[in-house]
Structure 1
Amino acid sequence: MEMVRIFSVKVYHIIIFLFLSKFMSLLPIKKGKIVFSNFQGSGFGDSPAEIAKKLKYYKGLDLVWLVKDLDEPMPKYIRKVKYRSVKACYELGTANAWVDNVRDEHLVLKKKKQVYLQLWHGSFSIKKIEKDASDKLNLRYLLNAIYDGKIIDGITCGNSNQEKIFRRAFYLKNKNQILRYGTPRNDVFYDKNRVDNIRKNVRKMLGIGEKDFVVLYAPTFRNTQNKDVYCVDFESVVDIFERKTHQKVIILIKLHPNIKNIGISYCKELVNKKVALEVSDFSDSVKLGIGADAIITDYSSYIYDFAILGKIGIFFAKDYKDYTKERGLYKKLEEYPFPLATTNEKLIEVINRFDLLKYRRDVKEWLEELKIYETGKSSEKITEWLIGKMSK
């Protein structure tokens, strides 16, 4: 009976999708309407927010944000619409342009005269993605990715590494444009005054002193419920960092949305011991990164952003061999300028032996080899591109 129910629900969704797509295809495009989506219904943030901030100065635009929680704070110049609602389908169907930062399941098919701007959320790829990981991804995602790649009019790119991956693995057609302008959310890195203000505000918000040394732990997700791969001996990490820096050390834990639930009890225990602060609900990862001094992660591109900021990055991957087989990596972690640890004991050893001068030299050489496209003007250039495409 359960299988019948699931099958019936899927058939119902397919019928609704076909009806909505057909109906929306008949509606006229409203000039100047731009519909934004951030991580499938999240609030105002990431690169889409940076483009919206620039667009507010243009006259005659109707900016719409698709959001799961209508109580999410939003700038006054943006209209909130419930994500994946019939109203959302209407907004997408009549929009002049779509702006997104992930692959989304399109309930409405794109029209030829609509513009689709993809502000891909990953500024650098460590683990294999899209076509390069086709044998690891489910069929539903792959079919959606193929369609999504076909309809993209422009996709932002921050470095030569991403450009190669986009060309090879994103199912892009020749008419698609790869915009070598950088990553909008990273523009702030090139404005020292903004960086200083954000750092102060984030620390004040979290109750952290300006002279404290802040370590952010931000692991990515796996297809496993094994909590052990995420467990770090933070008490020892705090101790060794305090001995190295001669500062009070604060640990921040930001779990990926896909693993947040399995890590709740683990985080609560650390928070109760006053060893760490749990910041998984902190919506702006860029601001959080600016507020920190170092990052410990596994396979997340977040470490690339820290490198641009000149901050400390360390790989901690307890399941390194298994994850490499499960998902696949573009390069061995040892080939990056970030020191690697695969056990808690090795992590403490890595921190103890950390050579800051050598690290900065290695990171500088690595970024030069990458040929990064970041200049701090990404949002401005992409906004001009979008307005130009919409006017054609």
Structure 2
Amino acid sequence: MKKSVLVHSMNMKNMLPFIEYYERNALSNSVRLVLIESNNQKKIVTKLKKLYYTHFKTCDGIISDYPTRLLERRSKISIAMGHGTAIKKFPSDEELKNEYALKLFQAVKSADYFLTTSERQNELEFRNPLLDKDSKNQYLPLGLPKNDYYFDVAKVEQTYKLQRKQNKFSQDDFVILYAPTFRDYETSESVFNESDLKLINDLLKEQNAFMIYRPHPLGGTIDEELLVKLNLERIIPSRSLALDAYQSLCISDALISDYSSICIEYLPLNKPIISFIFDEKEYCQKRGLEFDFEDENIGPGIVVKEKDNFTSVLTSLLRGDFDNTYWTERRNRCLETHYTYPDGNSSERIWKLILKSLEE
């Protein structure tokens, strides 16, 4: 009789390499996959399926990249992981005050295994005395399926060429992805006003460059209404392009971010990263941070803490100043820090763990 494995994800694209491994190795002969994408909960079929498997049906194995009570409904193995790579402790103390969220976090701690990308992450993700006291997790740095994409050089190159063509970027254009994280507080200072954006746009135009602005779904650092109103030629809101998160990273020549795990996700591509942390002190006070941006083995990017320095660093980036040996080697050292297995074989390791458990 076939074993059943439930795959739960907020965005099933994060789990595609895991599913592709299953298909490529004909695991369907012995294992049946059940897919539930929480992002589609508006669909009645998804709601009913989740309700059924949460309260009435037990699977042999469950793997989820997002907190869910489904992790409690397995007979053989349950695996939890994040949908990104933490550079701060998650969840925050504030998040644990939410009773509903706390129950979901406790469900994560009930899983047999919690997967990370490195030993360092083992100390950051879902770590809190309140959660750890009843934890059943064994932490394993096997890697995350979504990051397997970026180690496949041929696939990245194919995506680069195809998506540039479809989104009307030439091969000679220098494309920067600006992807800030969400701040669950109002910043005490303005980031970019109208004159700032126009100045950046002019600089990009001079250097035959573009900036794609991709904020966190819950909010970013640039007023998007202002951006749309200005209709700048060189600063493009991501929503006006046909690109998902993976494609955005693949077609870009450099990344600008801050406290987001996207900078760790980008590391396998070994391209320049700018850490624009204009509100570091405020972020540390209100959210907490476990990441030294200045440490050459941890922080992979050029650090910018003042808005006034942004355009000068951007000029250096467009001039190619961060493509030298120092930065290439530094990014490689950071890759080794943040990935125990920098090889793109996370899905294979996870499936081996699951299949071994199902046989027992």
Q: Note the 1:21-36 alignment, pairs <5 A.
A: 31-36=2-7
| Deviation for aligned residue 1:303 | 0.9
Q: Are 2:304 and 1:341 equivalent residues in the alignment?
A: yes
Q: Which amino acid aligns with 1:65?
A: L
Q: Distance in 1 between matches of 2:117 and 2:6?
A: 23
Question: Which digits, 9 at most, give the CA deviation of each residue in 1:238-283, with x for residues without a partner?
Answer: 444565xx5x21211111111279954134235x232322225867
- Which residue type is aligned with residue 330 of structure 1? E
Distance in 2 between residues matched to 1:55 and 1:267, nearest whole Å: 43
DSSP 3-state at the match of 1:99: strand
- Please tell me whether residue 162 in structure 1 is matched to residue 121 in structure 2: yes
Summarize the alignment of residues 191-206 of structure 1 with structure 2, pairs less than 5 Å apart. Answer: 191-206=152-167
| Change in 2 beyond 3 A, CA 1:258/1:366 | same
Q: In the superposition, relative to structure 1, how do residues 71 and 136 fare at CA in structure 2: closer, same or farther (>3 Å)?
A: closer
Q: Would the aligned equivalents of 1:154 and 1:178 in 2 still touch at CA under 8 Å?
A: yes
Equivalent residues of 1:303, 1:313 under 8 A apart: yes
Partners of 1:294 and 1:309 in 2: CA distance: 10
Unmatched 5+ residue regions in structure 1? Answer: 1-29, 73-79
Aligned pairs for 1:131-170 within 5 A: 133-135=92-94, 137-140=96-99, 143-166=102-125, 168-169=127-128
Task: State whether residues 229 and 318 of structure 1, in contact with CA within 8 Å, keep that contact through their aligned partners in structure 2.
Answer: no
Gaps of 5+ in 2: none
Residue 18 of structure 1: aligned partner: none
Distance in structure 2 (CA, Å) of the matches to 1:256 and 1:324: 19
Cα distance, 1:228–1:391 mapped onto 2, change above 3 Å: farther
Does residue 352 of structure 1 match 2:352? Answer: no
Deviation by residue 1:99-122 (Cα, 9 ceiling, x = unmatched): 211223x2x572451532223212
For 1:117-132, list aligned pairs within 5 A: 117-123=79-85, 125-130=86-91
- The 1-side partners of 2:59 and 2:81 are apart by 17
Q: Which amino acid counterpart does residue 16 of structure 2 have in structure 1?
A: A
For 2:211, what is the secondary structure of its paired residue?
strand
Matches for 1:11-50 after TM superposition, within 5 Å: 31-39=2-10, 42=11, 44-46=12-14, 48-50=15-17
Classify 1:382/1:88 alpha carbon distance in 2 versus 1 (closer, same or farther; 3 Å). Answer: same
Separation in structure 1 between the aligned mates of residue 284 and residue 159 of structure 2, nearest angstrom: 36
- In the alignment, the residues of structure 2 paired with residue 176 and residue 378 of structure 1 have an alpha-carbon distance, to the nearest angstrom, of 19
8 Å contact from structure 2 (residues 8, 38) kept in 1: no
More off after superposition, 215-224 vs 349-358: 349-358
Q: Does the aligned pair in 2 maintain the 1:190–1:375 contact within 8 Å? A: yes
Number of the residue aligned with 1:289: 249
Q: Distance in 2 between matches of 1:109 and 1:310?
A: 35
Question: CA RMSD, aligned part only?
Answer: 3.3
Which residue identity does 2:17 align to in structure 1?
A: E
> In the comparison of the two structures, how many residue pairs are matched?
342
Give, in angstroms, the shift of residue 313 of structure 1: 0.8
SS at match of 1:208: coil
* Deviation, structure 1 residue 347: 0.7
1:55 lines up with 2:22 in the alignment: yes
Q: Quick check: 1:86 aligned with 2:45?
A: no
Partner of 1:25: none
**C-alpha separation in 2, matches of 1:265 and 1:322:** 25
The TM-score normalised by the length of structure 2 is 0.81
Instruction: Tell me which amino acid in the other structure corresponds to 1:96.
Output: D
